[in-house]
Amino acid sequence: MSLRLAQFIEALGGTLEGNPDLRIDRLAPLEAAGPQDLSFLSNPRYQQQLAASRAACVIVAPALREAALARGACIVADDPYVYFALATQLWKRVHGAHVAPGVHPSAVVHPEAVVDSTATIGPLCVVERGAHVGAGSWLKSRVTVGEDCHIGARCIVHAGAVIGADGFGFAPQKGQWVKIEQLGAVRIGDDVEIGANTCIDRGALDDTVIEDGVKLDNLVQIGHNVRVGRHSAMAGCVGVAGSATIGAHCTVGGGGIVLGHLTLADHVHVSAATTVTRSITRPGQYTGMFPIDDNARWEKNAATVKQLHSLRERIKALEGLLQNNKIERP
């Protein structure tokens, strides 16, 4: 089913430059879009692709209006990327399969669990005793919500996610491990999305907390007693160790690691594959990965890095000699 450009404008706003009755058959990336497709350009660096694109219509910022008109129809929006995101939601509402609220026959919901009447519990999900699933939330397939864990309103939890497994807590005793029972739960706010096979462990004593609007990608591990601030986002394979605190509006790139008991201030952005080994108290972008290189040069650079401490000590000794006038200045 196609949509007219006028339908996008009616639903999402923006300024249309072109035929409102032009029909759109699909949404597509700029370089692959065809004559019946809607696309977008948010980064001016790709303006050459705009001129070459075959798209029926392109969503652009006001600064690119003239360039877009030179090739055809356009929708002018303050933030083309956000507009395109909203366009995908509109498209899915019109074309996607409708999922009715309720509990799938194969799901297991404990009699003492609370599932809002507008929530959707998918195939083979398990909702344990005392758990709560809020209004409009959707658990896809094979999601487990542990005992006493709380999921807020309008959340999406993708297949295989586990909310409220035991945190990793053991006390060493004479070469063996004594289990520390995890007595807390997990509290997830409203409008949270949790990716496939992501695990959020229950707290040891207090709860693990995921605040409103957080977005977690697939295969993310959140340890016990972690707190993730509102509207933060983490890409795939991120690991956050126990009792770490992530501020609001933070991002962690794919494969990033945050060690336990650390704190990240609000608006901290951690690059992919970076390991955070100390608390970060100031907003900003942080990167800690060793750059890729061909192996021979990488080994030489790694060997040099191992010598930095001794080189530092030698420089300090030389500076001391200079200050004490024990060697002549050149």
Rounded Cα gap, residues 64 and 44, in angstroms: 8
Beta bridge partner(s), residue 133: 115, 151
C-beta neighbour count of 35 within 10 angstroms:
10
Rounded Cα gap, residues 104 and 126, in angstroms: 11
Closest to 249 in 3D by CA, of 259, 264, 263, 235: 264
Active-site annotation holds for 224: yes
Rounded Cα gap, residues 87 and 9, in angstroms: 10
71: left (phi over 0), alpha (psi -120 to 50) or beta: alpha
Radius of gyration of the chain (CA): 26
165: which 2 tokens? 């497994």
Query: In this structure, are residues 129 and 166 in contact, taking their beta carbons and an 8 Å threshold?
Result: no
Burial class (CB in 10 A: 0-12, 13-18, 19+), 1: exposed
The alpha carbon dihedral of 18, 24, 28, 32 has a sign of: negative
Q: Which of 110, 224, 267, 309 is catalytic?
A: 224
Which strand (E) or helix (H) includes residue 24?
A: strand 23-24
Rounded to the nearest 10°, the torsion over CA 95, 97, 101, 107 is -150
- Residues belonging to the active site: 224
